[in-house]
Amino acid sequence: MKKITTVILTILLASSLYAEDKTKKAKLASDMRTMLKAVGAIQRAGFYNNKEGVKIAAKTLISNLNSLIETDATTYLPDSKANAGKFAKKRAKMIKMYAEDLIVSIETDDFSESLEDYNQILKQCTSCHSRIRQRQWK
């Protein structure tokens, strides 16, 4: 009886850990889609000189970076990309910095600087995706 109880508890624990991992991956994927929409919204608002729209989109981008920073990349990246998680976290911090600077640039009507901030955000996203997505995900 003790062995059966131990086996059942082991299975329940393993399945709960697996479910937690799936939940984190789903949240990360959802946040990535939200960040993509936010980057597009920054661009659209910039085309129409909608300063408030740029600020709202930049804040949306910033607010969705946490799951990227908090998620353990080794759970979804191939073993050969073990250090890519550190790279992704660094890119996320840089995106946050540039998005915050974008808000300041928009508020001070420095459109040249705001365009450079947007460009840097795109560079951070692209550099991470090109490095991490070279191979198959787990």
Question: Whose structure tokens read 């910033």?
Answer: 62
- Inside any domain, residue 5: no
- Inside any domain, residue 107: yes
Instruction: Return the axis-axis angle of helices 111-132 and 2-47, rounded to nearest 10°.
Output: 150
- Inside any domain, residue 13: no
**Residue 25: what pLDDT?**
78
Say what the pTM is. 0.77
pLDDT at 2 over 70: no
- Inside any domain, residue 19: no
Question: Mean pLDDT, to the nearest integer, of 23-28?
Answer: 80
- Inside any domain, residue 10: no
CA 50 centroid distance within chain: 25
Structural domain including 63 reads 24-132
Residue 138 confidence class, pLDDT cut points 50, 70, 90: very low
- Our count of domains for the chain comes to 1
- Inside any domain, residue 99: yes
What string of H, E and C letters represents the secondary structure of 48-81? CCCHHHHHHHHHHHHHCCHHHHHCCHHHCCCHHH
- Inside any domain, residue 7: no
**Residue 137: what pLDDT?**
47
pLDDT in tens, 103-134: 999 999 999 999 999 999 999 999 888 877 66
pLDDT in tens, 55-103: 999 999 999 998 888 877 777 666 666 677 788 889 999 999 999 999 9
- Inside any domain, residue 113: yes
Here the CATH number for the domain that contains residue 108 is 1.20.120
- The single-letter code of the amino acid at 36 is L
